[in-house]
């Protein structure tokens, strides 16, 4: 049974091919780790939920570009989060009581601003 096909094209940043290549490499790593894969699915779904569909309504090329770029961004974020997680953990282990006091003071000073909103 023949399938109707349509060609889509869209303008994108000049680095798109390189970004896609990097995302594909990161995706290979992410797929090996079930937890990372679940994080990717969650991040992509989050981006789609926040996405303003009316911006692309009636413009299928813009729609395809938005989905494509959202997926690349989700892969990049998931990969970076996983890559830096061990560094974050190491820094957290090295925190001193002075660091903790600084964080408490900073949170305390801005908490009043949050309550005013």
Cα–Cα dist 74/84, whole Å: 15
Q: What average pLDDT does this structure show over 14-37?
A: 92
Q: Determine the Cα–Cα distance for residues 33 and 10; give it in Å rounded to an integer.
A: 33
Q: Coil, helix or strand for 45?
A: helix
Q: What's the whole-number mean pLDDT along residues 47-52?
A: 81
Model pLDDT, residue 53: 64
pLDDT band at 115 (very low <50, low <70, confident <90, very high): low
pLDDT of residue 117 exceeding 70, the answer is no
Query: Dihedral through CA 72, CA 45, CA 77, CA 86, nearest 10?
Result: -140
pTM assigned to the model: 0.67
Q: Assess whether pLDDT exceeds 70 at residue 116.
A: no
Give helix then strand counts, H and E, for the chain: 4, 0
Average pLDDT over residues 91-98: 87
> Average pLDDT, stretch 6-10?
75
Greatest mean pLDDT among 1-15, 21-35, 43-57, 79-93: 21-35
């Amino acid at each position: 049974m023949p399938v109707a096909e349509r060609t889509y094209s869209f303008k994108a940043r000049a680095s798109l091919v390189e970004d896609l290549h990097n995302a594909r490499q990161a995706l290979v790593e992410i797929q090996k780790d079930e937890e990372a894969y679940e994080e990717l699915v969650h991040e992509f779904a989050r981006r789609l939920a926040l996405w303003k569909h009316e911006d692309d309504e009636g413009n299928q090329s813009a729609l395809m570009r938005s989905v494509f770029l959202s997926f690349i961004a989700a892969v990049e974020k998931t990969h970076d989060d996983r890559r830096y997680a061990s560094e974050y953990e190491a820094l957290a282990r090295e925190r001193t009581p002075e660091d903790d006091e600084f964080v408490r003071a900073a949170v305390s000073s801005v908490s009043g601003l949050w309550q005013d909103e």
